[in-house]
Chains A and B, each alone.
Chain A
Amino acid sequence: MHPHLQNIAIIAYVCAMGLALAHLVQRQTLVHRLAVLATLVGWIAHTLALVVHAIEIGGPPLGTLPNAVSVVVWVVVLLEMLVERQSGVTVLGAFVMPVVVVLSLKSSVARPVTLAPALGNAWIWIHIALALVGIAAFVLNFAGAIMYLLQERQIRHKRPGRFYHRLPPLQTLDRWTYRTLALGFPFLTTGLILGAVWARTAWGSVFAFDPLAFFSLVAWVIYAGTLAGRAAGGWHGRRAAYFAIVGFAALVLTLGAGLFLPGRHGA
């Protein structure tokens, strides 16, 4: 039951991505409505899949890293739908759904090995949940940065391109990347600290080499640098957007490492 629902969700997300990208280029209201519908269908199937799975295993569906990534995707899609509705930025899906699809596929092809037995108490759920919310915020941060760079590029080039008038104003996008960064960072930080504390009590050392922990620290350093640059150094615009993309690349590596490389986080 659960894998079927999961597959339906992924198929719906892929459709939503295609439609959202088509909407970006074509700008037909109907296409956008279909994209929203596909996203919603996917999300509902996804919700059911998570619930069914939780009942099957008798606990939150965070027991394996692929499951945890699946929950990230679930949060991201929910946020995407809410933000899109709230802000009226109908092109948001075109920038978020590709990330959703990549993460979904990643989590579905990874071998579902349960987390190391040491990870088994309430603290660890909080560690995971906080990190996941942080990651979800950074997906939106990444989407905002991409939109900023596209919009800035077409304004600088002075040739109205395909996306002309389809993206939000530069200032809005700049604020958006700042806010999502400011939102995601505390969650990521707390999540990492809890993880480190746990690692010390469980294994006696903070960093006996674990690929996920390593890359997440890299991502954290990049985001911390960007936040400091923005808050103190007046960074903004293109530079901030580049950092958002690099930070997100590190996050994707983090999850990739957790899913495919052997380490304490499973696999």
Chain B
Amino acid sequence: MTQSLQEAVRKLAFKTSIEQLQKRGVKDVKVLGLDRIVALIEEATNRSLKHRLLAGDRAAIANATKEEFLRLLKTNQDLKQSRDELQQEKERAVQDAAAVRKEMEALAGKLKIRLAAAGEEAREQFDDEDEEVRRLVEMLYQDALKSGDQGVFKERMSKLLFGMLEEKRRAAIAATEAAKGEEVSQLQRRIAKLSTTLEQTESKLSMVSSQGFYDSGVASVYREVQGLSLDSRFYDLKKELMADIFKANLQLQKGQRD
């Protein structure tokens, strides 16, 4: 039990430097060993209980008190662990959300490019076919000139050719739409799925953030820029050294900016 108490006191202790103590105006420090602190806690507990309890109960209650103290300490550690886990979960959720957004943007871009390319391909195909028809009509027209009955011949041939062309166009449009529809539909399905994932991730993120364990960072002990303290050892020397370091850095960083 004494060892557990020692461990508990060690965990509750914090570190500080001699310089920080000097800053607070402390000049002499009295050192109290861990064994002595634990002995004092035990002694204080025993003395307090001695006045109130019979000898038999005293030891049992002292032990129960120590156990309760250690249990509370462990609960505190468990809570810290839970906080750390929630923090990690939040970081993962943030990363997941960013990845999903990135993927959605990439897909939307791909879809736009695909749609534009499909339209362009179709237009080029139609232009070629029109040109072909004009060429054929011209050829027939020339033939008709040679044979005599030009008007009727030209009208019939044009009607026939444009009829054929219209049919081809309908087939081409149907094929393009079918292909386009399938791809677009696939992309749209993926985007819909990613949107759902994003919603779920954001919801999870919101939940984790609302747990109240969100770590907003550890505050610095300083609210303003410090600088050398007047009572610092080697004040003048340190002041010169700070100026030298600054000059070297100014030269380095000024050169970089120029």
Q: Do A and B come together as binding partners?
A: no
CB within 8 Å of A: which residues of B?
A: none
CB within 8 Å of B: which residues of A?
A: none
